[in-house]
């Protein structure tokens, strides 16, 4: 895949450092970062914490507070500290912390790692550097302003003296702690680490098979557990052949977990409340023994109220609701109805387009299935977890077991993918409960089938669209009746719609309405929540309107962005038209949009989306073969994520991974029959194969904006870009996913 191209175009109340001496004369620095993070649980009160250790030999050990799940935040946060500390990256070592309020908000998700740490972590490093300079200046009897730093050393050029941070550590610990707002940060032109590609600190361990993932954790005396969960949400295990299971080789325990009832008929699971479902636990001396015993398990279930739920029936109900008056209006600008009525007036020039889009449920399908190791002993609990938000898991687990939170220790372990799934701590609760029941350490490991059939799924939904263009090809009206899942005025978790999504404010007559129907299925955040589905609908329908207007689809978007938008509403985070125009023009240039005559069956499609503070535009070139097999020949991505790309190689792979994820989502679907999930493994919920993956060319447009993350915003545009290309190549519009519903598949 091509090398990344880069094109140039306050923290609130005082934070502070606490300094303590380490054995051997080392130095440890800690920060209280008061950072507002857009997504995630409320931030707990902060206590002193340590981010930096300097050993006498100059080795720098940095604590990276966020969970590493493949997004390389482990390196990124350390790079920010190391840059301003002014040490060489080769001398840096990284460690993971435990989950604890003293570390502040350890939420990993929402592409918030970079924006949530950009200022704070650099200030930590800069304050540390300033303390070393102060120590050297006092030792030598010179002015602080006369000292400089480089590569973990303080220099005084006038006297030709220098000392390493390790030599100065004992003295530095006695220096006054700088006011973080006053520390001088480096000029970007002097960066040596930020903007340079670095290999992840644990790449070698991964390549050599070191046990660094949650699934690898072992502790002395550990047993292995599996759990057969209720197949229907809210169901309950009534009885099971426990005596027969206990008699099987290797089995130590088998028992029913009662679980707890849903908080309401509407299962709106939040980060802080992962639920605790009924099921049967089997504990054995090996996972294979536990899983083998599970195959002989016979359980009588009470399915509860959702035992008759069926996906086909839900789809029928959605159509019925779409024909009725919407339950509520989410946004209304101007008046769409008079515009639509003009379509019947001869020679008025108004053209209308109607289209119904169906969004499927999909699973996360992380490569590493859910797992957690727990050890309850003497009234205290120790947990090894891959959680994306471990602190709420610690809180919920303590509450479930009736423990003080201070008696629960959660060790953060690298996860093999997360994409939002590990933001839910249900596995932590189950493992902790089982360990307490048997009073022994236990590893609870899910099978792939468990993972596929007991997920917090990306929520499905139905969008009934209508739009109008005038005689000049201008978009003049937009209506969306969103039939969603939920209850009353509440959408299912991460199953709603942001009424301010583009093209809101850029269309004079704009209306979004919604109706809601019940759902007995856990739903939750999946990479680029909301955006991963709504971008496909919005950008596909924009394409339909562009063709109806007789306009080039890319120019149609540029024209729309060039209009004068309505003012932002209260608390709205609207798209910046100038930034989006920049990436759209860049991707047009790099892809050669409209510059080549493509043969029959081959076409380009374009789409863009703003989400998680990132601006992304993408062009996909697609060939559709006679048998409706699709080959994505190449993808071009243009992105604006601010002024700096902290780790270019990591940024590029994040974008490429997001594109691959998006292409995979075009083939995926979760359905319900008799209340239970039908799909059980990758053969029914596939991922893109390596042979199907296209070359992905990534270009970053640097702008004068704070750096933001990119784990999520690169994903949404790829689905509509490919679908739009398919339409141009074949004349067939994909309005229902997966693409197999209309006979398409990847070659």
Task: Give every residue of the chain whose pLDDT is below 70, as ranges.
Answer: 1-50, 262-274
What are the chain's domains? 10-198 (3.30.365.10), 214-305+365-453 (3.30.365.10), 527-747 (3.30.365.10)
718-730 and 648-665 helices, crossing angle to 10°: 50
Give the pLDDT of residue 39: 36
Spell out the residues 6+ positions from residue 333 whose beta carbon is closer than 8 angstroms to its own: 504, 505, 507, 508, 509, 510, 511, 566
Closest CA to 10 of 118, 113, 127: 118
Rounded Cα gap, residues 330 and 340, in angstroms: 19
User: CA–CA distance from 541 to each of 205, 551, 608, 716, 738 (Å)?
Assistant: 46, 14, 12, 14, 17
What pLDDT digit, counting tens, does each position of 208-260 carry? Answer: 999 999 999 999 999 999 999 999 999 999 999 999 999 999 999 999 999 98
The 10 Å Cβ neighbour count of residue 635 is 29
46 by DSSP, 3-state: which?
Answer: coil
DSSP assignments along 289-350, one per residue = HHHHHHTT--EEEE-GGGTT--HHHHHHHHHHHHTSPPSEEEEEES-HHHHHHGGGSTTS--
Closest CA to 401 of 438, 441, 439, 429: 429
Give the pLDDT of residue 251: 98
Cα–chain-centroid distance for residue 54?
33
Rounded Cα gap, residues 175 and 182, in angstroms: 16
Q: What tokens were used for 617?
A: 């535009």
Provide the percentage of residues in the chain whose pLDDT is more than 70. 91
Rounded Cα gap, residues 245 and 100, in angstroms: 39
Give the pLDDT of residue 646: 97
The 10 Å Cβ neighbour count of residue 702 is 16
């Amino acid at each position: 895949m091509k090398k990344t191209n880069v094109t140039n175009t306050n923290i609130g109340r005082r934070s502070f450092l606490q300094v303590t001496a380490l054995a051997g004369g080392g130095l440890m620095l800690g920060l209280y970062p008061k950072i507002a993070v857009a997504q995630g649980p409320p931030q707990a009160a902060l206590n002193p914490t340590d981010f930096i250790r300097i050993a006498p030999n100059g080795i720098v050990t940095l604590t990276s507070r966020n969970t590493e799940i493949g997004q390389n935040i482990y390196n990124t946060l350390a790079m920010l500290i190391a840059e301003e500390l002014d040490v060489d990256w080769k001398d840096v070592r990284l460690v993971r912390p435990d989950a604890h309020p003293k570390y502040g908000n350890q939420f990993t998700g929402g592409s918030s790692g970079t924006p949530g740490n950009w200022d704070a972590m650099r200030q930590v490093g800069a304050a540390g550097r300033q303390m070393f300079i102060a120590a050297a200046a006092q030792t030598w009897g010179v002015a602080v302003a006369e000292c400089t730093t480089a590569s973990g050393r303080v220099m005084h050029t006038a006297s030709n003296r220098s000392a390493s941070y390790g030599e100065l550590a004992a003295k530095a610990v006695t220096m006054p702690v700088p006011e973080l707002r006053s520390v001088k940060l480096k000029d970007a032109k002097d960066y040596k680490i930020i903007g340079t590609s670095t290999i992840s600190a644990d790449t070698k361990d991964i390549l050599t098979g070191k046990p660094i993932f949650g699934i690898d954790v072992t502790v002395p005396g550990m047993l292995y557990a599996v759990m057969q969960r209720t197949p229907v949400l809210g169901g309950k295990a009534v009885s099971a052949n426990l005596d027969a299971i206990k008699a099987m080789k290797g089995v130590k325990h088998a028992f029913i977990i009662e679980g707890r009832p849903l908080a309401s008929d509407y299962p709106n699971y939040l980060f802080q409340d992962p639920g605790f479902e009924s099921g049967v636990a089997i504990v054995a001396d090996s996972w294979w023994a536990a899983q083998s015993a599970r195959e002989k398990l016979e359980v009588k279930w009470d399915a509860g109220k959702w035992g008759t739920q069926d996906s086909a029936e839900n789809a029928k109900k959605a159509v019925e609701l779409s024909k009725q008056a919407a339950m509520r209006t989410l946004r209304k600008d101007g008046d769409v109805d008079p515009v639509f009525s003009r379509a019947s007036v001869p020679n008025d020039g108004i053209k209308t387009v109607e289209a119904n889009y169906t969004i499927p449920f999909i699973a996360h399908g992380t490569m590493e299935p859910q797992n957690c190791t727990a050890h309850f002993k003497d009234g205290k609990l120790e947990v090894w977890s891959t959680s994306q938000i471990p602190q709420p898991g610690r809180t919920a687990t303590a509450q479930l077991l009736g423990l003080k939170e201070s008696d629960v220790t959660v060790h953060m372990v690298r996860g093999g993918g997360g994409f939002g799934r590990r933001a839910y701590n249900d596995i932590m609760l189950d493992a902790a409960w089982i360990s307490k029941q048997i009073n022994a350490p236990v590893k609870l490991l899910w099978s792939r089938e468990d993972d596929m059939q007991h997920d917090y799924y990306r929520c499905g939904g139905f969008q009934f669209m209508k739009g109008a263009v005038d005689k000049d090809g201008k978009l003049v009206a937009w209506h969306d009746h969103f039939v969603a899942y939920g209850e009353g005025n509440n959408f299912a978790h991460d199953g709603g719609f942001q009424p301010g999504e583009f093209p809101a404010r850029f269309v004079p007559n704009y209306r979004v309405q919604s109706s809601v129907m019940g759902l007995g299925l856990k739903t939750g955040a999946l990479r680029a929540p909301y955006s991963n589905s709504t971008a496909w609908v919005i950008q596909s329908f924009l394409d339909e309107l562009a063709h109806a207007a007789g306009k080039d689809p890319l120019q149609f978007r540029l024209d729309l962005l060039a209009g004068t938008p309505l003012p932002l509403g209260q608390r709205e985070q609207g798209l910046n038209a100038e930034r989006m125009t920049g990436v759209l023009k860049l991707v047009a240039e790099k892809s050669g949009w409209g510059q080549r005559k493509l043969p029959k069956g081959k076409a380009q499609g374009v789409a863009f989306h703003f989400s998680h503070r990132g601006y992304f535009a993408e062009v996909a070139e697609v060939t559709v073969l006679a048998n409706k097999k699709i080959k994505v020949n190449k993808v071009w991505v243009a992105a604006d994520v601010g002024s700096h790309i902290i780790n270019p190689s990591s940024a590029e792979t994040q974008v490429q991974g997001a594109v691959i994820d998006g292409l995979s989502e075009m083939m995926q679907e979760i359905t319900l029959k008799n209340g239970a999930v039908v799909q059980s493994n990758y053969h029914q919920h596939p991922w893109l194969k390596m042979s199907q993956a296209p070359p992905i060319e990534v270009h970053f447009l640097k702008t004068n904006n704070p750096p933001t993350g990119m784990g999520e915003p690169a994903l949404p545009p790829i689905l509509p870009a490919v679908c739009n290309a398919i339409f141009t190549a074949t004349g067939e519009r994909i309005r229902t996913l997966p693409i197999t519903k209309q006979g398409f598949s990847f070659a």
